[in-house]
Structure formats: structure tokens, C-alpha cells
Amino acid sequence: MTEAGRYRPPWPRVGIRPVVDGRRHGVRESLEERTLAMAAATARLISSNLRYPDGTPVECRVPGHCIGGVAEATAVDEWLADERAAVSISVTPCWCYGAETMDMDPVRPKAVWGFNGTERPGAVYLAAVLAAHNQKGLPAFGVYGRDVQDANDGSIPTDVADKLLRFARAGLAVALLRGRTYLSLGGVSMGIAGSIVDHGFFESYLGMRVQCVDMTELIRRMEQGIYDHEEYGRALAWVRTHCVEGADPNPPEIQRGRAQKDADWQTCVRMTLIARDLMRGNPKLADAGFAEEAAGHDALAAGFQGQRQWTDFLPNGDVTEALLNSSFDWNGVRAPIVFATENDSLNAATMLLGNLLTHTAQVFADVRTFWSPQAMNRVTGRMLPPGHRGELGVIHLTNSGAAALDATGEMRRNGRPAMKPHWEIDDEDVAAALAATRWHPALLGYFRGGGFSSRFVSRGGMPLTMSRISLVAGVGPVLQLAEGWSVDLPAEIHDVLDRRTDPTWPTHWFVPRLTGEGAFADVYSVMANWAANHCAISYGHIGADLVVLAALLRIPVHMHNLPPEQLWRPSMWTTLGTADPEGADFRACALLGPLYR
């Protein structure tokens, strides 16, 4: 078993395919060195800028010779498969024989960079080989630099570099998903459609399997002591020291006593250990005689039904969900573990995409309330000042205290609030996030079994992307996204608005970037057009990356606020219409079907 919460090596690699004009007697010979140099430069670019989930640089593989025809294409592709190259980028500075040199693997994400130079027609090859990909139903991304370069220019222009990195980032996400598991702990929570786990979606679109475990398995393991007792002692001591309780919001006559609250904390810690072990496994369980339980379910993400069968009886899952989703726990800093509230598997899948692209913790939230300036003024007697990012309205994102503590915004980058990949997080970051969080006893009206909910307010000024995968009958999965920012509200406004929901839950005040059209005509329209009650929140504006990843997975994007120049999809999409990119996206995904059909 790998360390809990980490993806597992050996990691998939990026294969760089140097493609050359196969004609001998001076043609190929004059191009071979230049082509291999182009491939090597691409590999350096990727390895210098992208990392695996454990923080190590992404590895690329470049063959020792070029591909000039079918025999070499076959040999290189077999070699790349042996080298675990799950993503391919073909590069060339010249004309080549398209259908003879292309990557024919039906599921491997693929892109082609055709050098934009007039001495040799690399861009002509790019157009020819993309046409071949489209004709054969093997979509590929085309990388074509805006400006003409000289033949001896070995640099990679910024626009080309951006696309190569964006493609490699998304392609590796596809590879990291394949063959892994979504673990469904329990069933459907309160009739929420996202927790009706669709095995076909995970299998056909993500290449994952689904494993289902009843929530009684957590009770069995707690009662029979099937967890690491030494770690439990350390975890409980850490929680008692660092998870500061907040005020009890329940009426005094029904509040739980100190002994019961202490017992609830013990249960919450056991739940966290057991949920992690169910996902990842734990070799220490084998030492205790539980070899089957030690194996885990190889789960990349999981969801916990909780409500209501569990939470009417036992402490809620908020502590477990918040700590697993965070980038740290009693063992120190680690990669976050994607764990969905209410077993909303579609939100878990969306969180997983964001995590694979950014390697940061993801936030699970309700898309709770749109506050217009007029409504805000009516209940608080105040309005946000002119120039405030939220002056046209804000969206209150919140959920029972299950959000990753990274979302406090207390971790800083260049002095500004941020959420960072775990390899950038230090002890000061962890201490700041914990200090900004209070753990309130759960409202017993919601959670009759007790428990604790984390409470904090996300710092304003963070660039965020909220997104969501939904399933539509007759269509399949669709993705929506909204780039925007967290904002700070003046205390006299925040306090009034926050108390109108559950005052023991985390709050993220979100303002989307508006376009003035359609679903982004105003802030209200974003809320009104959101397709479900939940969303996943990623740090950073990652919409362009999500669009590329969605195209690779054949999931159309039905709502976004990206400028047209940031939309990039495989060449096939443009053959289905350029005036209506959103419609072409739906047509292409329907035509091709799921990636793993």
C-alpha cells in the first residue's frame, strides 16, 4: 500500500513522437537532428513545469530515432507502451506521411505539434495528419503556433508552450483515472440524484470501476477494533490539541454533555481512519490478523451517504470529510483525499478532475443562495460599496462542515490567500488553517446522532473555479463551470447573512466573472442555471484545462464563462461547426461516444 491519500506510482509518462519526412538521400537526413531536438525540447518543457501527485517531475519518453513510416510508427508505439507512456505528443518541423506516422491507439490522448515555419511545411503536415485523425475517428489536438518561426529557431513560443502543457496536464489526468475505483460508502442520501451512483458513467467515461460498501462496515470495524490503534491514539491527541471546539448552537436543554461530546470525537476519529483504510488499505491491519481488510478498495475517490440512516443514529461525517479532503492531518502534510458528502458521486468525480489538474485540495459545497444587492440591503440595511467585486450580488457556497480546511485561504502565496499543492505547504500553513477553524457541535435538528461541523470563512481574493458534472437522460454526462473569485464581506453584512443558514458551517462568498450574456448575464443567472445543488471548487482559474480534459473524456461542456480564445478542443470539433462551439462540442461527444465504450 502507498501512503494514504497519495496516488500510486509507477506514474504514467508522456511519450514524445518525433515524426519526420521518410524520404532518404538527403531529405530525412537533413531533418533528423532538428526533429529529435524538437522532441527533446518538448520533453524538457513538460518535465520542468508539470508534476505528479507526489510532487515529482512528470517523466517523458523520447525514442532514439524518428518516425518516418509505418514500421517505425509501430515500433515506437510498442516501445512507448512498454515505457508506460499513456499520453502522446507527435512533433515535427516538416512534411511527413500523415496516415503512416500517426498515433493509432484508440484511447491514448494525443496531440500533434506542427512547427510553423516556411522553409519546411510542418504546418501542412499538421493539417494533413489531423484530417487523417478525424477521418478515422481518432480525435487529436492540433498545436499550431501563431507566428512563423525560422527553421533554426529551437525555442518554443509561449502560445505553443501553453497548449503543450495544457494538453499534457489533461492527458495525464485521463491516465491517472484509468483503472482506479470510486468507493460508495452507503447508498442514496435524501433522494439526491448525484448519490444514485451510475456505474456505467464511471466505467465508460472515466475508465474507473465502482465498489459499494454498506455503512454498517464502519460500525463493524469500530466495534471489532479493525483499525490501527496506535495511530488512533495519535490522531485523537492531535484532534484534541488542534481542533478547537466552537460554541454549541443547540438549545441548552438538548445539548450533549461533555462525556458524550468526547465520545463523539472518538467516533469521528475512528470513522476517519476507517474510511481512509477502506479506500487505500492499511498493511498494519494484516499484522493484526485482518488481511482482507488491509487490502482496501484502491479508491481514488469516495463518498459517504451519512444522512439520514447514519446521522439519525451516530455522529455525522463532517470531521471525516473535512480532514480527508484537506492536505494534512495528524500524520502531517499529505496529498488530499477526495471524499464527497452525501455520497454525491458526480460531485466527487468533478472534485477528482480538479484535483488531478491542480494537485490541490478540492472544496465540496452547496450552491446555496444568491444574494442580490437589494435583498442584502433589505436584511442588513447595508449595501456593498461601489467597486466591490460583489456589488452586483454574491453566491453563498456552503455545506455541512465538510469543506477542506485549505479553503480557509490562510495559506499564503506571495502574501495572498491561496490553496497550494501539498509539497508547497509548511507547518505555518497548517497551523494557520487550523487556527481559523472552529468545530461546533452539530445541530441536533439536522444530525440527531451528534458530531461536529467545521466552521470558517474563506478569505476573499482567491481565484476559484466552481464546476459540476451532471447526468442527463439520453445525453450522458455534461460539465458546467464558472470562473470567479472568493470575496470578503464587511462583518456587519456577513454576520447577518451567514446566520440565516447554519452558523456552524464553512462559508465561501463567491462572485463569478460575468460576460453579459446567457447564463453569465448576471450573478443571478449563474445560480439559476446551475444544474444541481452541489458544486466542486478548485483554486485557480482552471476552466480552460477543464474544457480540454472534458473533450478527452467525451463530456460536453454546457455552461462556461471562458473567452473564445481560451476554448481549445480536438480538430474534429471544428469540422462539426465553428459558429457554435458549444453545439459542436455536444455533436462531437455524441458522435464519438464514451472514451471506453
Cβ-contact 418, 539 below 8 angstroms: yes
Of 59, 366, 410, 585, catalytic: 366
User: What is the sign of the dihedral through the CA atoms of 307, 312, 313 and 316?
Assistant: positive
Can you tell me the distance from the alpha carbon of 470 to that of 440, in angstroms, rounded to the nearest whole number?
A: 32
Q: In this structure, what C-alpha cell is assigned to residue 534?
A: 452541489
Cβ-contact 326, 406 below 8 angstroms: yes
Can you tell me the distance from the alpha carbon of 243 to that of 232, in angstroms, rounded to the nearest whole number?
A: 15
Helix (H) or strand (E) holding 262: helix 258-280
Of 342, 429, 502, 585, catalytic: 342
Cβ-contact 173, 353 below 8 angstroms: yes
Q: In this structure, what C-alpha cell is assigned to residue 192?
A: 439526491
Beta strands at 507-512 and 394-398: parallel, antiparallel or unpaired: antiparallel
How many of the other CB atoms lie within 10 Å of CB of 483? 23
Report the b/e string of 156-166 with b at 16+ CB within 10 A. Answer: beeebbebbbb
For residue 405, give the nearest of 432, 426, 427, 423 by alpha carbon. Answer: 432
For residue 490, give the nearest of 357, 355, 385, 346 by alpha carbon. Answer: 385
Can you tell me the distance from the alpha carbon of 88 to that of 19, in angstroms, rounded to the nearest whole number?
A: 12
Is 565 annotated as catalytic?
no
Is 264 annotated as catalytic?
no
Can you tell me the distance from the alpha carbon of 403 to that of 325, in angstroms, rounded to the nearest whole number?
A: 7
List active site positions.
342, 366
